[in-house]
Amino acid sequence: MNAPLITLLEESGLTGHGGAAFSTATKVRAAHEHGAALIVNACDGELGAAKDGWVVAHHLEELLAGARLLAPGPRPRIRYAAHRGSAAEATLRGAGLDVLEVPARYVSSEETSLVSLANGGLARPMTKRAPFVQGGRDSGGRRVPATVVLNAETVWRVAQVTDRGAGWFRSHGTPAEPGPRLVAVGGAVGRHVVVEAESGTSFHDLFAAAGGVHQGVSTVLVGGLGGGFLQAGEAAARTWSGADLAPLGLPLGPGVVTAVDPTPRLVDVVAEQLRWAAGESAGQCGPCMFGLPALAEAWSAYARGERSARTAIERRIALLPDRGACRFPDGVARYAASALRVLDLTAATRPRTGTTR
């Protein structure tokens, strides 16, 4: 076990930048204890995500250095996961690396999906009796070797912390969420960019780095399909930080901030995204097989003006979390609930001159 590295990571407070925000030191310690193989996830699986591909494109040598630190030894077992046909895949293959080619589907780049794919299975989430960093068996009883998955930005940050020190890392961000963080800013903005930011950065500064938002933008989406919405006024009064987003029920997420196009109605935008989400599941657990299509159908009815559909939406949202092999339905439930909240806020402040949504 590389005790000095683990101590350094503990001192830095580095957490995974893929969305779960789990302690990197804890994960690396378990990986070293169990001799786990390493998968570096450069898939950018969330809607609007771009930062891991940006790391591959702009900091490949540091990324490789971080991976070698995390999987030391004369014959380290390291694979780099990238979506099939992506620029990241081409760059990684061009560098002669062992690339795990991942289908371009939403759940295919989920942690356990990558572990399954790397070990000869399908790119579908697996139920975890224990973290696969310890090894184990899938639902069919097939042995799964110990494997740890870290996203590309996290691995790059490991190299930076090793080179610059824990104090440098903690000089950025907030005490609760230290360190620099990449944010992909997109949607109705001047240009889509990946911004070097940190927890506590204002939404104004994030959008300014993208050339500003288009006229009429009134809603911001944080975290993509696994995150949720806030009104532009709420964003103006808050920072991009866990502390400021938690009261709205939103996680910091994987580093995606989107100015929602003001031209279509928000209720229609959400209807389209929920229909897409219903088709992106692995189709193996009840919440995804039945719950997501039912939620999408109820929301489409709501968008058509069937107000009775509101009750069905709320019922579906309540039934989705904590029941699947992965957190995909949990994230979609949060996304839909936050959309209802923002739609209600908008309706409450709009003059009553006809339709309210």
Tens of pLDDT, residue by residue over 139-174, are 777 888 999 999 999 999 999 999 999 999 999 999
CA distance 132 to 137: 8
pLDDT (tens digit, 9 = 90+) per residue, 201-259?
999 999 999 999 999 999 999 999 999 999 999 999 999 999 999 999 999 899 999 99
Q: What is the pLDDT of residues 29-49, one digit of tens each?
A: 999 999 999 999 999 999 999
| CATH 1.20.1440.230 domain position(s) in the chain | 266-349
Q: Which residue has the higher pLDDT, 106 or 131?
A: 106
Average pLDDT, the chain: 92
The pLDDT score that the predictor gives to residue 37 is 94
Rounded distance between C-alpha atoms, residue 232 and residue 234, angstroms: 5
E-assigned strand segments in 192-343: 193-198, 201-202, 219-222, 228-231, 239-240, 256-259
**Range(s) of the chain covered by CATH 3.10.20.600:** 172-259
CATH of domain 172-259: 3.10.20.600
- For residue 205, CA distances in Å to 212, 215, 356 come to 9, 17, 31
Residue ranges, comma separated, of all CATH 3.40.50.11540 domains in the chain are: 3-167
Greater confidence (281 vs 108) lies with: 108
Specify the amino acid at residue 217: V
Helices (H) and strands (E) in the chain, counts: 16, 13
Instruction: Domain 3-167: give its CATH code.
Output: 3.40.50.11540
Asked whether 17 and 155 are in contact (CB, 8 A), the reply is: no
Reference 66, options 142, 143, 155, 144; nearest CA is: 155
Rounded distance, CA 205 to CA 195, Å? 10
Q: Which CATH architecture has domain 266-349?
A: Up-down Bundle (1.20)
